């Protein structure tokens, strides 16, 4: 069976790229297609993958200013030649689902979210701090891009979403039903912490819309030990408001983050995420999560068992949640068992089972294994 994986762009590394790695593990011989690719910004392991970028990659400075090229992304993805492929899996939060495939090709989209700059424009430009000039350039493009995005959604045979929140967005924006297969972590790579822990942990990209400021303010006011891991445009401002109990460690790699989780009291997540990988990493370390109770954490955190929610993105609300957390006893082994439900191997099995079912439906076979035999013939 000839397989292609289509990903929005490969010039930055984050949660979507971790999902891409798991899709690639299910289909290790797949060709990976993307709009733009900057090998220097990707992990060294990507150099062993078969990655092909579109003509967009040849335009000057496109990898540095890729958002400026939004109007031509639809054309770039439609130009990808997918003739001869039996299966196409798109990993999309932008335009990757818009590829054109043949009538016999099974076309599945793993949707991280419909494009927020199209369907949640006002919140997007506010949170990304888009300049008025760029907003003026972007706004006239929206009606045409929304029309294309909605139309191209009809090219997909089946949709997978990360969480209930994204499932609702796909239904609202595209009128499509979807199956939730949440992103995953390699649970075995994390050590379960012992004892009460030494510090609270905030590990994420430091940008304003994620509200790291309220965590720093809360821990400074109570003189609570907080480790801040990550970088971003808000980092210097956070340093200015932080007290002596707050320690900044900058951006950390996988090896450095594991002991931070293991030795923590809890992970604090102040942002509303479409899904959120860091809560799973904390729970794989047997540590609970103190999270803003909206978005993807509602699918992963169990109040009183694996964490505590706070209702408002305010310092006072976080302090109230910390009070609840400190009065609650958590079982590290139970938290780890919960994290086991989100292990990489479970993700791979669920993805393969789902895709096999879609192949069976497309081929008119009764069983997924029969469909694979037809596809391999």
Q: What is the mean pLDDT of residues 145-169?
A: 96
What local confidence, expressed as pLDDT, does residue 12 receive?
Answer: 87
What local confidence, expressed as pLDDT, does residue 363 receive?
Answer: 84
pLDDT tens digits, one per residue of 270-291: 999 999 999 999 999 999 999 9
Mean pLDDT of the chain: 92
Q: What is the mean pLDDT of residues 105-123?
A: 91
What local confidence, expressed as pLDDT, does residue 377 receive?
Answer: 37
What local confidence, expressed as pLDDT, does residue 342 receive?
Answer: 98
Phi/psi at 159 (nearest 5 deg)?
A: -115, 135
Q: What is the mean pLDDT of residues 290-298?
A: 97
Highest mean pLDDT among 61-75, 115-129, 213-227: 213-227
Query: Between 368-376 and 344-363, two packed helices, what is the crossing angle to 10 degrees?
Result: 70
What local confidence, expressed as pLDDT, does residue 365 receive?
Answer: 52
Q: Which residue do the tokens 């099974």 mark?
A: 106
Q: What is the mean pLDDT of residues 316-345?
A: 98
At residue 369, does pLDDT exceed 80? no
Tell how strand 264-269 and strand 179-180 pair up: unpaired
Least confident of 27-36, 38-47, 150-159, 344-353: 38-47
* pLDDT > 90 fraction of the chain, expressed in percent and rounded: 81
Q: Residue 366 — very low, low, confident or very high, per pLDDT cuts 50/70/90?
A: very low
Q: For the chain, what are the domain ranges?
A: 3-184+344-376, 187-340
Q: What is the mean pLDDT of residues 292-310?
A: 97
At residue 373, does pLDDT exceed 70? no
pLDDT tens digits, one per residue of 306-326: 999 999 999 999 999 999 999
What local confidence, expressed as pLDDT, does residue 375 receive?
Answer: 44
Q: Residue 132 — very low, low, confident or very high, per pLDDT cuts 50/70/90?
A: confident
Prediction pTM value: 0.89
Q: What is the mean pLDDT of residues 255-275?
A: 96
Q: Which fold has domain 3-184+344-376?
A: Rossmann fold (3.40.50)
Q: Which fold has domain 187-340?
A: Rossmann fold (3.40.50)
């Amino acid at each position: 069976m000839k397989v292609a994986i289509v990903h929005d762009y490969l010039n930055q590394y984050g949660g979507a790229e971790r999902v891409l790695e798991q899709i690639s593990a299910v289909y290790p011989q797949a060709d990976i297609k993307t709009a733009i690719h900057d090998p220097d910004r990707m992990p060294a392991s990507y150099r062993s993958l078969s990655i092909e970028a579109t003509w967009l990659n040849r335009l000057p400075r496109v990898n540095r200013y890729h958002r400026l090229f939004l109007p031509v992304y639809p054309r770039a993805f439609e130009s990808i030649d997918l003739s001869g492929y039996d299966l196409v899996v798109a990993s999309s939060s932008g335009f990757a689902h818009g590829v054109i495939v043949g009538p016999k090709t099974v076309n599945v989209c793993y949707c991280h979210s419909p494009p927020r700059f199209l369907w949640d424009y006002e919140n997007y430009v506010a949170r990304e701090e888009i300049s008025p000039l760029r907003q003026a350039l972007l706004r006239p493009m929206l009606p045409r891009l929304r029309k294309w995005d909605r139309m191209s959604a009809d090219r997909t045979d089946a949709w997978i979403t990360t969480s209930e929140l994204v499932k609702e967005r796909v239904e609202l924006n595209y009128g499509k039903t979807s199956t939730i297969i949440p992103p995953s972590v390699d649970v075995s790579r994390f050590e379960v912490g012992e004892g009460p822990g030494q510090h609270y942990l905030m590990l994420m990209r430091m940008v304003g819309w994620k509200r790291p400021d309220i965590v720093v303010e809360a821990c400074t006011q109570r003189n609570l030990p907080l480790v801040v891991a990550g970088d971003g445009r808000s980092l210097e401002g956070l340093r200015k408001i932080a007290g002596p109990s707050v320690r900044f460690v900058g951006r950390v790699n996988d090896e450095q983050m594991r002991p931070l989780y293991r030795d923590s009291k809890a992970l604090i997540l102040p942002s509303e995420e479409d899904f959120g990988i860091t809560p799973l990493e904390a729970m794989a370390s047997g540590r609970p999560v103190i999270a803003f109770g909206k978005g993807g954490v509602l699918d992963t955190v169990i109040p009183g068992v694996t964490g505590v929610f706070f209702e408002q993105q305010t310092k006072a609300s976080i302090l109230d949640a910390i009070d609840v957390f400190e009065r609650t006893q958590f079982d590290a082994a139970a938290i780890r068992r919960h994290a086991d439900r989100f292990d990489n191997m479970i993700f791979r099995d669920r993805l393969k089972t789902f895709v096999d079912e879609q192949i069976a439906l497309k081929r008119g076979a009764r069983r997924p294994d029969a469909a694979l035999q037809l596809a391999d013939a």
